[in-house]
């Protein structure tokens, strides 16, 4: 990047010694998810419309669960962006959980009423429930389930959208499409323009170019 895009690097004050670092916080039925990203250079234009569309795309498609009908994710940027551009400080993004209102008594921050707690005695196969309960010596899997949840991936999508913002400045676009389902496979090269068209649709069932 320093060789091919040195002008861009100077313009936005990019420090090549730094790398992007992120982590997420929050539980599936907690009040919110929070995503943190550091390392983005100053001066990048951030489009909330683009970030929110990426979040919207996550909630579409075949096989989405009932939770997707409850949540309508929009990114609320708390820090790191001012006047529409990054300022080089860490970015914090808040994603509210609408379902929190149905779980405040079952999963309160304070001790609360133990009678309302919803135990999970049967860990889900293929998840981290059992491993996490053993690791942290929990008598059941509820707390591990809350973190080892597909809901957490919404925070990662928000972070990924911000990373795409930087890549766009380098004329790099990241897209994806399904190439195989069961025995059905794409057996020919798919033109980039066709992948772009499939990713820009307003209705997404299964993104097959």
The per-residue pLDDT for range 83-103, each reduced to its tens digit, is 999 999 999 999 999 888 889
* Model pLDDT for residues 39-77, shown as the tens digit of each residue: 999 999 999 999 999 999 888 877 666 666 666 789 999
Measured CA to CA, the distance from residue 165 to residue 96 in angstroms comes to 22
**Cβ–Cβ < 8 Å for 118, 141:** no
Q: How far apart are CA 166 and CA 13, in angstroms?
A: 13
> Whole-angstrom Cα distance, residue 156 to residue 162?
10
Distance of alpha carbon 188 from the chain centroid: 31
Q: Is 50 exposed, middle or buried (0-12, 13-18, 19+ CB in 10 A)?
A: middle
Provide the pLDDT for residue 1. Answer: 38
pTM above 0.85, yes or no: no
């Amino acid at each position: 990047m320093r060789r091919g895009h040195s002008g861009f690097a100077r313009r936005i004050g990019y420090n090549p010694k730094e790398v992007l670092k992120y982590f997420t916080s929050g539980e599936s039925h907690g009040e919110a998810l929070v995503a943190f990203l550091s390392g983005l250079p100053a001066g990048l234009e951030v489009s909330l419309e683009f970030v929110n569309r990426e979040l919207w795309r996550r909630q579409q498609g075949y096989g989405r669960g009932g939770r997707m009908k409850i949540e309508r994710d929009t990114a609320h940027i708390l820090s790191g962006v001012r006047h529409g551009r990054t300022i080089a400080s860490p970015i914090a993004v808040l994603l509210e959980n609408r379902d929190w209102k149905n779980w405040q008594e079952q999963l309160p921050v304070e001790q609360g009423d133990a009678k309302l707690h919803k135990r999970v005695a049967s860990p889900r196969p293929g998840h981290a429930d059992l491993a996490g309960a053993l690791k942290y010596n929990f008598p059941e899997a509820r707390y591990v389930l809350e973190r080892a949840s597909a809901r957490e991936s919404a925070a990662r999508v928000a972070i990924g959208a911000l990373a795409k913002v930087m890549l766009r400045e380098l004329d790099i676009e990241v897209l994806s499409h399904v190439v195989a389902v069961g025995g059905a496979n794409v057996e020919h090269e798919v033109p980039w323009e066709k992948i772009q068209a499939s990713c820009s649709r307003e209705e997404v069932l299964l993104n097959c170019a």
